Amino acid sequence: MVRSRRSVRAYRPSPVPPSLLRGILETARLAPSGANLQPGRFIAIQGTVRQHLCDELVQSWQQGRQEVEDYGYFPNPMPKTLRRRQVAAAQALYSALVIPREDRAGRNGQFERNFRFFDAPVALIITIENDFGSGGYMDLGMSIYGLMLAAQSHGLSTCAIGAMASFPGLIRRHLGLDERTHIVCGMAMGYADLEAPVNQTQTTRCSLDEYFRTIG
C-alpha cells in the first residue's frame, strides 16, 4: 500500500460517503504525537463556501497577491541539491501532461488546479494552532500521512496541496477562523481517474545512501 500511494491530481466525480471520510479521519488520528497532544485540525469545505474560496484563491494567485505564509515551507535560500529535486518533480509532472517548458499558459493552468483541489469530491484545509512548536508540525505530518494511507486502504487517493499555505489570511476569512489558526496545507481526496495523463506522473526517491548511515 505504501509503495502504491502517489499524489493524484485528477478524480472521478463519484462522491465519498461522509461516514467513510469520518472513519478515515479517525484512523489518521491514531498517529503518534508527543505527550499525546494530537495537534492540528481537518476542515472539510463544500458547496458555495468551497466555490467562493476557490474562485478567490485562483484570482489572487493570477494577480500575484500571495500573502506572508504562517510558516516557512521551503528552505531559503534553496540548496542546489534540493532545487534539483524540485525541478525533477516539476519535469515529471509536466512531461506526463506533455506541457513543454515554454508553454507558460499551460503550466499556469495546471498550477491553478491546486486552488480548486483538483476538482476532487473531498476538499480539506489542514490547520494547526499558532502556539505549537516545530514538534507539532512533525506530529501533524504523521497524522496527514496516516490519513493518506487510510484513504488508500479504502480505494481512495489523495494529494496534499502546499500552495494553500500562500494565502492564509484569505482562507481564514472565508472559513471564519481567527489569527491563532495557522494554515498548513490543503488536501484533495477522492477516487482517482486512472486514465488521466496527469496521474501517470512518476517521481523518484533518494537512494538509501543519501539519507541513511550507520555510526559505530
Kindly state the cell numbers that stand for 72: 516557512
Sign of the C-alpha dihedral computed for residues 28, 117, 106 and 79 taken in this order: negative
**Across the chain, what does the average pLDDT equal?**
97
**What's this model's pTM, rounded to 2 decimal places?**
0.95
Q: Where does the chain have alpha helices with state H?
A: 18-28, 47-62, 80-96, 104-112, 134-153, 168-175, 208-211
Question: Residue 156 and residue 146: Cα distance in Å, rounded?
Answer: 13
For residue 52, the SS3 value is helix
Q: How confident is the model at residue 1 (pLDDT cuts 50, 70, 90)?
A: confident
Residue 211: how many CB atoms within 10 A of its CB? 8
Give the CA radius of gyration of the chain. 18
Cell 505530518 found at = 141
Question: Residue 183 and residue 125: Cα distance in Å, rounded?
Answer: 7
All structural domains of the chain, each given as residue ranges with its CATH number in brackets, are: 18-73+114-196 (3.40.109.10)
* Tally of residues, the chain: 216
Question: Residue 111 and residue 78: Cα distance in Å, rounded?
Answer: 21
- Given a cut of 90, whether residue 135 has pLDDT beyond it is yes
Which of these, 39, 205, 41, 43, lies nearest to 138 by C-alpha position? 39
Question: Residue 19 and residue 65: Cα distance in Å, rounded?
Answer: 37
For residue 8, the SS3 value is coil
Exposed / middle / buried, residue 124 (Cβ in 10 Å: 0-12, 13-18, 19+): buried
pLDDT at 194: 94
pLDDT at 167: 98
- pLDDT mean over 96-123: 97
Residue 159: how many CB atoms within 10 A of its CB? 23
Model pLDDT for residues 63-81, shown as the tens digit of each residue:
999 999 999 989 999 999 9
Question: Residue 13 and residue 159: Cα distance in Å, rounded?
Answer: 16
Model pLDDT for residues 140-199, shown as the tens digit of each residue:
999 999 999 999 999 999 999 999 999 999 999 999 999 999 999 999 999 999 999 999
Model pLDDT for residues 2-35, shown as the tens digit of each residue:
888 999 999 999 999 999 999 999 999 999 999 9
Q: Which residues pair with 128 in a beta bridge?
A: 182
Model pLDDT for residues 27-55, shown as the tens digit of each residue:
999 999 999 999 999 999 999 999 999 99
- Determine what percent of the chain is predicted with pLDDT higher than 90: 97
